[in-house]
Amino acid sequence: MSHQSKRIILKSFPQGHPKESDFEINTIEIKEDEVKDGQVLVKLLYVSVDPYLRYRMKQVDNKAFQGYKLNEPLTSICLARVISSKHGSLKEGDNVTSWNLTWQEFSIVKGEELNKLPSNDLPLSYYLHSLGMTGFTAYFGLLSVGEPKEGETVLVSAAAGAVGMLVGQIAKLKGCKALGIAGGKEKVEFVKSLGFDDCLDYKTVDNMDEAIKKFCPNGIDVYFDNVGSETLDAVLLNINDGARLPLCGSISNYNDTKEAQGPRRTFNLISKNAKMEGFLVSKYGKDFGKAQQEITEWLKQGKIKEQIDERNGMEKIVPSFIDLFHGRNTGKVVVKIADE
């Protein structure tokens, strides 16, 4: 049996903001009888689009980020269903995730590169958000790097996004005051509906330094940075003694065509005995299982609210990715490719 399989190719390295014309959809045939020992044939169910993929479109190739190649299909964290298997521990019908699965409706892959999902009542798409890489980023970035203590003030930027919405909720679970920064009135309302104590609409702000000072009158103990630039600058003026600043992302710079200016106001880190620390979620790989178990419990007990911003179809992957850089998402963007 063979499967006509749509896939998405990188046609040019984006200059500035990615455009639809940087990508192309074409179709190939995947033959089931080409599955070899140790391999499985999978059908793509859900694709995760993430801001860091923009970095992989920059002709990079280092230990942390494998650069995409021109005229080759793109990959990301995806969820798929096993259609046929020649791998000992996987069978037809199993649901699996991979951190590097091709944006292609059907693929033949090595079974050892797939993580079999447990079966429970939770929606599968959660494994691309709170129960997957994004959730682990919020969990370890806040708890292991930010080290929040009860009663402290935790501020997070891109608070209505996939990572940010979880950071604030986990901060609340740890007895902290959770404050968010997000773009637009609707996002502010969404963030507050998650239980954050308050949220600042940065799009209505003229002077970020003044706005953060007013928004955090008791200073900031933990700043979880998803955006970089002027927000980080403004936060540095308002940190408390011994503050921790986990650097998770710097999305405001991802489409820069010139290298961003170096960090400013770092003297405030010195005068406040504060710590700014970058991290990649992969650093905590050996503890993902523990985090997944704990977040599963929180979800089941209603302690954490989920928000999947679901789109539909292969044609929506690229526009959904582009949307991330224009703030056109609330919660985690997941593209559904096929019915479960």
Q: Which residues bind ligand NAP (CB under 6 A)?
A: 50-52, 134, 137, 158, 160-164, 182-183, 187, 226-227, 248-252, 279-281, 324-325, 327, 329
Find, among 125, 122, 124, 100, the residue nearest to 113 by Cα: 100
Find, among 32, 35, 133, the residue nearest to 76 by Cα: 133
How near is the Cβ of 30 to ligand NAP at its closest, in Å? 29
How near is the Cβ of 173 to ligand NAP at its closest, in Å? 19
When the beta carbons of 85 and 231 are compared against ligand NAP, the nearer one is 231
Query: Which residue reads 């490719």 in tokens?
Result: 337
When the beta carbons of 130 and 329 are compared against ligand NAP, the nearer one is 329
How near is the Cβ of 45 to ligand NAP at its closest, in Å? 19
How near is the Cβ of 8 to ligand NAP at its closest, in Å? 19
How near is the Cβ of 145 to ligand NAP at its closest, in Å? 10
Cβ(47)–Cβ(7) below 8 Å: no
When the beta carbons of 87 and 336 are compared against ligand NAP, the nearer one is 336
3-state secondary structure 154-209: EEECCCCEHHHHHHHHHHHHCCCEEEEEECCHHHHHHHHHCCCCEEEEHHHCCCHH
Pair of tokens at residue 80? 């798929």
When the beta carbons of 83 and 211 are compared against ligand NAP, the nearer one is 211
Give the β-pairing of 198-201 and 95-102: unpaired
When the beta carbons of 45 and 248 are compared against ligand NAP, the nearer one is 248
When the beta carbons of 226 and 296 are compared against ligand NAP, the nearer one is 226
When the beta carbons of 80 and 200 are compared against ligand NAP, the nearer one is 200
When the beta carbons of 227 and 304 are compared against ligand NAP, the nearer one is 227
The sign one gets for the Cα dihedral 162, 165, 169, 172 is positive
CA distances from 158 to 197, 203, 302 (A): 15, 12, 23
How near is the Cβ of 322 to ligand NAP at its closest, in Å? 11
Find, among 105, 107, 46, 50, the residue nearest to 78 by Cα: 46
How near is the Cβ of 25 to ligand NAP at its closest, in Å? 23
Pair of tokens at residue 140? 């370890």
Name, in order, each residue with C-beta under 8 angstroms of 90's C-beta and a sequence gap of 6 or more. 40, 82, 96, 111, 114, 116
How near is the Cβ of 305 to ligand NAP at its closest, in Å? 15
Find, among 157, 203, 154, 148, the residue nearest to 181 by Cα: 157
103 DSSP 8-state letter? S
Helix H or strand E encompassing 300: helix 288-300
